[in-house]
Structure 1
Amino acid sequence: MKLHTYIKSVFVFLLAITISSCEGFLEEDFKSELSPTNTFTSTYGFEVGISGLYALTRSEYNTYGEGGGYIHNGACPYEALQVATDIADLGHGDASLTAFANLTLTSEERFVGTYWNWAYSLISSSNEILLFSEKNTDWDQPTDKELFQAEARFFRAYAYRTLVYLYGDVPYVETILYDFQLNFTRTPKEEVLGHIIDDLKFAAERLPSNPDSEGFKPGRLTKWAAYHLLSEMYLLQGEYTLAEEAALEVINSGYFELMKTRFGVKMNEPGDPFSDLFVENNQNRNSGNRESIWVLQFEFNNIGGGTNSDDWTRRAWNPKYQNVTGFVLADTLGGRGLAQIVPMKWWVGTKGTNATGDLAGIFDEKDIRNSNYNIKRDWFYNNANEPSLFGKKANITDQTWSSTNTLFPALTKFFYGREENLSLTGSYKDRMKFRLAETYLLLAEAYLGQGDPSKAAEAVNVVRQRSGASTVDAGVMTMDFLLDERIRELVGEESRRFTLVRTQKLVERVKSHNSALKNKIQDYHKLWPIPQGIINANRDVEFPQNPGYGN
């Protein structure tokens, strides 16, 4: 799709999908005729537009559309950022994932184009709000203008973050272009990074600081989300001291803490503080969760929540246990899984199974992140109509893990099931996009960049102590150890490709841990190709393709 097409069409789409969270965040009655000139004329109108930015952001995880943003139209694009890394193999993958997993990408692949489209949709919609906020004079409060601008600039930065990670040099557009254009050029990545950082600094200075203030709605941005992302972007830029300072702004703010005691709706049931983070309805602060910094709102059966085709992360990581005789779908087993990606044995281990070669994985024995509450290794037949099997343990084998993908260690953080519809495609839990544990790991990365493994170890140990893992010292604190720690803490939550690209470890880690691709990956695989439709449409100026992907 051409860049210019977003300028004229995305705003209508933006308003059409404008929705609220389960708490009534930004609920609006829409005008029969929506356009920037009759919408962006008051604080109320900008609330509508900003709500649309949140909806567009959630649609990053969209699959087939439905009531959400019609973006990717394919199974779980999120998985394209997990395969061909060091953590997961492609299982029963949708055909739309095969080229990403096998490193046979071309510029025509669906998600190559849809991630580009999604990002520029968010950018153009943010630019629309920024442009009309300068024209509007009817504000409820004197601070409204800067607040909306801060949110819009955060989302613009967030979209460009995806673009520079995936494509490198990309056109930087910071205003609405009404004229048809065929001459876009690629802005150098470092220049785009500078703009991202400027936007995030603006947002950090103007977004609200107190997430507990009266009337503050779950899911809305605070300045601490901007500082968290700013730390990551400084790391990508190689500005490690500034990355440290941004991370410490969040850590020292007084608003957040790692959850070390049980909390939330299942605090009196078996589990631990880490598993509590991922229980449905435990992601927002009203549950007692003080670790979440920014939460995407996907609640079940709520206006502004998820649809069946929004977040398919659960289906991605959950095995197809329902295909095994002796099993039936159950909410306690996460509902229906598709096993589209499968965890690699080197990190998750095989302890407690009879798979060939008992591997310990990368977890300490007492690390709660490796408990059965968080990685399910013990599967018991649950079909009462099979009395000879009912209640007995079903063994994970090489065949169930690697061939049929029916049983393997599963990440319970993405379990989701509803008795009224156990075949639900979506995962309707809110998604913690940024949480404090990652801020500490970004801080550790900043210290490693400054050549200070002792301070890096201190930052990592804060996270490890919560999990019951042993503390580490400077002697073992390397980038590889930190990347392993990010798996232990953030597997499935982070976009693993982004992390490995930022740390310049993608090729090395794939060669070390991904046996299927170790002899195939090359330096050019650090970037995706530019979508062919963009190159074809830009007829007036040469728009070069990324190296390794042809013309």
Structure 2
Amino acid sequence: MKKINSIFAILLLLTASGCAEFLEEENKSNVTAEEFYETAEGYEALINANYSALRNIYGDDPWMFVCGTDLYQEGRDRPPQGLSKYFELNSSSSGVDFLYVNCYKAIQLANSAIHYADITEQTGVTTQYLGEARFLRANAYFLLVQSYGGVGMITEYVDEPILQFDRSNAEEVYAFIIAELEGAMGQVSSGAYDGHVNQRAVENLLAKVHLTRGYEAFGTADDFAKAASYADNVINGQGLNLTSEELWTPGNDMNEEVIFSVQWSAGSISADPTGMGNKQQSYFGPYMGGSEVAGDAPYKTYTTLPNRFALDLYEEGDERWYSTFMTEVFTRYYDYFDVDDHSSLMVEDFYEPRWFTAQDSIDYVNAHPGVEYHSYGTTDPNGGAISLDRATMIVKKFDDPTSLFGGASSTRDFIVSRLAETYLVAAEAYLQAGDPSTGLDRLNVVRERAGVADASLGEFDLDYILDERARELLGEYHRWFDLKRTGKLVERASAHNSWITPSNFEGANGNLKILRPIPQNAIDLNQNKDFPQNPAYE
């Protein structure tokens, strides 16, 4: 068994300890936490703690998911500069330990659930819960291996600090992930998604893992074909039946296209409503005003804004332009969601699309006297007056009208995987497997729902898929992984992010800063002094 270092073992123990304290508070007897886990009630609580760990991974700051890519740039406030611009990126940079810490916490909880599965009181769902824990552990390792490359693997329950550990290579980590998911397949529920991992979610992750491994030097000859097959199993003939607006309507988070999500409730954040919820709505837009708008508009951090390239990707008639962005801001922002008939509402801000003509602009202003008209080219961090509130384009698809103003107050679900992305995974997998015609068919299902013309076989390539993923998945936490997976990170970030040049990626001894560095604390506290840092940071 590969070992993890002491600081993270301690973090894991603290996590387990914290969970135990919570469970003991819920348990009204004098039994220990370990005894509690051996009961059906205690084991279910331990599984719930595993799901709660996902909130730390996906519900907090998105820097490791979206920064330093081709779609987002800083606005008035700055994300961590190393992750955003690369030239300051090193093992001590702000934010580089985010997934390292939170994924290992999730792994320890999963290891605990797997450990107690054979010990606990057996019920009709014990095996199902075991499969769910294996999926969650595999998901955490998948995030780690994509971000850092090979990592220390811990596959058993940790009950004491480990002072030194070895580093598995990426090939070994991928093999473990796939084996775990294949094992979980026959254990989890085959039923409809209800918030618990089911077989469809497992197959969907297997599709993504095989697709990602297929680009690696150690990838197998059939990885892309397997990715396509798993993706088609998930699709299973289901079309994209919702409109793109319905897909993101608040209160419709458990719609038919969701494959796996992280869930919140009002009760889950009641202890700290502005600190414990889902932060996703707080990003991808300008500051909307202070306490004077509290309750009437969402809090936006003004940090990670869609750039000009991202906005340029949309064409006239693409329904995703309107389902993704708040193009008209009413006097009360949330009336967009709360009022069915918008015809009588006053528009205060309008964000012009790229395809508006001069006459279109004149006509709009005449129909909306007094509107603050934001011309195209001024609504992104490249050309916008980002010192002003409401100056840049607003991503609305994650907005929560029930949230408090400020911080992480949203109780909307975080959508980890959904059907349209699976179609795009299938499109990419078929292309790379040598069957572009079938891949194009999968991609055009997504375009048809958006109301735009089918792509042609002549334009269907990897860059086209990445552009389509940008249009469909803007603001969802895929982009850095998409560019890293496809080998397009340096090329596309340098071409479309004005803060980044190819030289920003230059690391030690001619190596490129593609992988993130192993956090310095992990290196310093590991008594195995032969543990290697990623080459670009040595």
TM-score (norm 1): 0.81
1:224 deviates by 0.6
Quickly say closer, same or farther: Cα 1:154–1:370, change in 2 above 3 A: same
Contact 2:326/2:395 (8 A) holds in 1: yes
1:124 maps to a residue whose letter is Q
* Corresponding residue number in structure 2 for 1:166: 147
Give 1:494's match in structure 2, choosing from 461, 464, 477: 477
Return the alpha-carbon distance in structure 2 between the equivalents of residues 425 and 7 of structure 1.
24
Return the alpha-carbon distance in structure 1 between the equivalents of residues 153 and 471 of structure 2.
36
Q: Secondary structure at the match of 2:51?
A: helix
Return the alpha-carbon distance in structure 2 between the equivalents of residues 347 and 88 of structure 1.
8
* Corresponding residue number in structure 1 for 2:519: 531
Return the alpha-carbon distance in structure 1 between the equivalents of residues 328 and 424 of structure 2.
30
Return the alpha-carbon distance in structure 1 between the equivalents of residues 270 and 442 of structure 2.
36
The more displaced of 424-433 and 227-236 is 424-433
Contact 1:418/1:424 (8 A) holds in 2: no
Return the alpha-carbon distance in structure 2 between the equivalents of residues 108 and 118 of structure 1.
17
Say whether 1:258 aligns with 2:240. Answer: yes
1:362 maps to a residue whose letter is L
Give 1:2's match in structure 2, choosing from 1, 7, 12: 7
1:167 maps to a residue whose letter is Y
Quickly say closer, same or farther: Cα 1:392–1:84, change in 2 above 3 A: same
Return the alpha-carbon distance in structure 1 between the equivalents of residues 480 and 30 of structure 2.
41
Q: Secondary structure at the match of 2:516?
A: coil
Contact 2:295/2:405 (8 A) holds in 1: yes
1:547 maps to a residue whose letter is P
Q: Secondary structure at the match of 1:319?
A: coil
Contact 1:511/1:521 (8 A) holds in 2: no
Q: Secondary structure at the match of 1:146?
A: helix
* Corresponding residue number in structure 1 for 2:278: 311
Give 2:249's match in structure 1, choosing from 272, 276, 279: 279
| 1:237-248 equivalence runs, <5 A | 237-238=213-214, 239-248=223-232
RCO higher in structure (CA 8 A, sep ≥6): 2
* Corresponding residue number in structure 2 for 1:355: none
Cα deviation, 1:51-108, whole Å, max 9, x if unaligned, reads 0000011121354xxxxxxxxxxxx2x13321210100012335x6233212112212
Give 1:40's match in structure 2, choosing from 23, 31, 37: 37
Quickly say closer, same or farther: Cα 1:88–1:405, change in 2 above 3 A: farther
Cα deviation, 1:216-272, whole Å, max 9, x if unaligned, reads xx32111111111110000111110111111111111x6x54233xxxxxxxxxxxx
The alignment yields a C-alpha RMSD, in angstroms, of 3.0
* Corresponding residue number in structure 2 for 1:503: 486
Return the alpha-carbon distance in structure 1 between the equivalents of residues 23 and 271 of structure 2.
11
1:161 maps to a residue whose letter is F
1:528 deviates by 0.9
* Corresponding residue number in structure 1 for 2:301: 338
* Corresponding residue number in structure 2 for 1:191: 172
Quickly say closer, same or farther: Cα 1:393–1:184, change in 2 above 3 A: same
1:329 deviates by 2.6
* Corresponding residue number in structure 2 for 1:25: none
TM-score (norm 2): 0.82
* Corresponding residue number in structure 1 for 2:111: 127
Cα deviation, 1:379-431, whole Å, max 9, x if unaligned, reads 466699xx9x9972213366664332632222110223348x44464222112
1:345 maps to a residue whose letter is R
1:296 maps to a residue whose letter is V
Contact 1:127/1:176 (8 A) holds in 2: yes
Give 2:46's match in structure 1, choosing from 32, 35, 49: 49
* Corresponding residue number in structure 2 for 1:299: 265
* Corresponding residue number in structure 2 for 1:86: 70
Contact 1:18/1:52 (8 A) holds in 2: no
Q: Secondary structure at the match of 1:434?
A: strand
1:279 maps to a residue whose letter is T
Q: Structure 2: 5+ residue runs without aligned partners?
A: 1-5, 215-222, 334-344, 349-364
Give 2:421's match in structure 1, choosing from 416, 438, 444: 438
Return the alpha-carbon distance in structure 1 between the equivalents of residues 450 and 141 of structure 2.
34
Q: How many residues align?
A: 483
Cα deviation, 1:441-489, whole Å, max 9, x if unaligned, reads 1101111111222111100011111111111122111111000111111
Give 1:219's match in structure 2, choosing from 186, 195, 210: 195
Q: Structure 1: 5+ residue runs without aligned partners?
A: 20-27, 64-75, 213-217, 261-272, 349-360
Say whether 1:475 aligns with 2:458. Answer: yes
The percent of aligned pairs where both chains have the same amino acid is 28
